[in-house]
Structure 1
């Protein structure tokens, strides 16, 4: 029988993201954030390609992004309500980490596996922040998926995209749990 890490298992069985709009100061300092990024980078990465990188968005950068959202929304024909919601996501945040999907050329590792690794980094960062006692939430939104917006305002290369924006801060309160999947309904056991 394996020797379980019961505290880690209990954390994973009860983990709960905190709504980004409910996160406040203080936020992790650079040393604390470096620990969280280090934990996130310990993710499955077939071929050791590191097909992801981080952009830490502090308050001034988030304000700059918020100011850029209305023009991007007009350019894309986004409804004013959706544009305002996207703008608020940046304007109301104190710290977010953009996990950038940065695929590498490989004859052995398909792009989809690299993308899944970037997603694992997002979850790793989210869980590391929660385990460290911070509130955290994984968001994206239309601006994060607009190639022109992310190239111009975040400096992404043409081949890169945003896998997730991980908002980190102090949770004002713990939200109630939400309904979870019925594992038996979504699991098939193959026995022969």
Structure 2
């Protein structure tokens, strides 16, 4: 039997994201966040391309981004409710990490695998934050897909995209578990 780590398995079987709107200070210090980012950077990365990078968004940055979301939403003619919801994601955040997908040109590793690696970095950061006792949530939203917001708000280069925004803070409300997938419905055993 292989060596096991029951504590990690138990964590993975019981982990639960916390709604971003319920996260408040304190947030991880720079050193604490560096540990979480180190864990996030240990994801599967075919070809050692590092097709992602991290933007740490502190309170002044999230306030600035909230204002940009409002301006972009109005310029795009979006509904007021949709704009307000997206702006609140930034206005209410004391700390978020944007995981940026950085496609690397190569004939060996398809772009889709680089995308999966960036998504894995989001999940690893989320799980590292939860394992460290913080509340965390992985979100995106329409601003992440708006090229002007990405360029002007986040400083992303052409071809870069947001794989996710991982909000991290202190949870202020208990969250009940939600229904989980029925494995009998989604698992198929292929034996021949």
TM-score by length of 2: 0.99
SS at match of 1:71: helix
Q: 1:167-178 maps to which residues of 2 (within 5 A)?
A: 167-178=167-178
Gaps in structure 1 of 5+ consecutive residues: none
Q: 1:26-41 maps to which residues of 2 (within 5 A)?
A: 26-41=26-41
Equivalence for 1:77: 77
Deviations along 1:86-107, one digit per CA (max 9) or x if unpaired, are 0100001100000000010010
The whole-number CA distance in structure 2 between the counterparts of 1:70 and 1:40 is 31
RMSD over equivalenced CA pairs, Å = 0.6
SS at match of 1:165: strand
Deviations along 1:49-76, one digit per CA (max 9) or x if unpaired, are 0000000000000000001111100222
Equivalence for 1:3: 3
Q: 1:153-168 maps to which residues of 2 (within 5 A)?
A: 153-168=153-168
TM-score by length of 1: 0.99
Equivalence for 1:148: 148
Equivalence for 2:99: 99
**Aligned residues between the structures:** 192
The whole-number CA distance in structure 2 between the counterparts of 1:173 and 1:71 is 31
Equivalence for 1:19: 19
SS at match of 1:47: helix
SS at match of 2:46: coil
Deviation at residue 159 of structure 1 after TM alignment: 0.7
Runs of 4+ residues deviating >4 angstroms: none
SS at match of 1:127: helix
Q: Does 1:133 align with 2:115?
A: no
Deviation at residue 174 of structure 1 after TM alignment: 2.7
